[in-house]
Amino acid sequence: MNILELQNLKKYYATQKAVDDISFSIPQGSIFGLLGPNGAGKTTLLRMITGIFYPDSGNILFEGKKFDPVKDIPLIGYMPEERGLYKKMKIGDQALYLAMLKGMNRQDAMKKIKDWFVKFEMQSWWNKKVDDLSKGMSQKLQFVITVLHEPRLLILDEPFSGLDPVNSNLIKDEIYKLSQKGTTIIFSTHRMEQVEEICDKIVLVNKGKKILDGSVKQVKFDNKENIFKVGFNELPSRFESNIFEIVSSKDNYLIVKINEAYHPADVLQQFLTNKASIISFNEILPSLNDIFIKKVEDTKLARQFEKV
């Protein structure tokens, strides 16, 4: 079941098509990566999903029904990249106030706040103000406030910003736990290595349009370039081949790119014919970072040709 479906969403401003006919769906319980460069339309999409903006056209379905801000927004937790905390308010009072705004009663809210504060070693912060916190500390607080009411859909925009490696792992572990309990998570970031590690599926948007979507594994497979890493007991002497090109060599490994119309078996056969002692043969799939850069650059080139 899809918890969220976006159907042909459009949002135009006077001089910009912020979201230009975008459609995709997010499966229940998945960790979904929303990717794109600055100005791609990610923030506008998130604001439409959370009811802050309304689309000019298109539909949003939440749990199979047309999105109803009154009924559905309490089921969503949104942690924006920009801090949404009251700087002069005590942290404990602020957490309680925001939890009750989400519909929690005072007793349940207090219990959950105390549990999270203990888990994140924040007990001593209760009477501090946000002004007194570092960026990383305020990020931990904002995460806690976002998940207190146990939302069905959790939206995290750059959740690891300002966090050291220890606290990044702490937040990451909680993201996995929430997902295992059935919470669906939309994860928006510029850090491709985090997306590759955490997300099940992704969508890439640029200039208001969807460029690609699918599972991380499938996206990488679809964008492979026939590049292989070949390991040897002893690196063979270089030789010419019309089957592949040698991209690089290091130690006892060669990185080769297989030419069109040939297959990995052809490469192996040629090395074996030359009596090379092969110990490993692995395909190198592109990283999400490489795919991201290539797709964004391709979009820029396409737009330049449109203007010619």
pLDDT 10s digits, 190-219: 788 888 889 999 999 988 999 999 999 999
Nearest C-alpha neighbor of 170 from the set 200, 133, 144, 195 = 144
CB neighbourhood size of 176 (10 A) = 12
pLDDT for the residue numbered 306: 46
Across 82-101, average pLDDT:
87
At residue 307 the predicted structure's pLDDT band, cuts being 50, 70 and 90, is: very low
Asked whether residue 252 falls in the same domain as residue 140, the answer is no
Count other Cβ atoms within 10 Å, centred on residue 9. Answer: 24
- Give yes or no: residues 6 and 68 share one domain: yes
**Same structural domain, 98 and 232:** no
Check whether residue 26 and residue 151 sit in a common domain: yes
Round to whole Å and give the CA distance between 196 and 202.
9
24 and 120 inside one domain = yes
Does residue 110 have a pLDDT over 60? yes
Same domain assignment for residues 68 and 128 = yes
**Segments of 224-299 assigned E as strands:** 227-232, 244-250, 253-258, 278-283
Tokens of 104: 């929690």
Let me know if residue 148 belongs to a domain: yes
Model confidence over 223-249: pLDDT tens digits? 999 999 999 988 877 667 889 998 998
Query: Which CATH number do you get for residue 168?
Result: 3.40.50.300
Domain count, the chain: 2
Look up the domain containing 84 and give its range: 2-221
| In a domain? residue 84 | yes
> In this structure, is the dihedral angle defined by the CA atoms of residues 247, 253, 267 and 271, taken in order, positive or negative?
positive
Residue 238: the pLDDT is 67
Residue with tokens 């078996």: 265
Same domain, 211 and 232: no
Gap between the Cα atoms of 114 and 95, Å rounded: 10
Question: Does 90 reside within a domain?
Answer: yes
- Asked whether residue 92 is assigned to any structural domain, the reply reads yes
In a domain, 290, yes or no: no
pTM score, whole prediction: 0.85
Q: Is residue 155 part of a domain?
A: yes
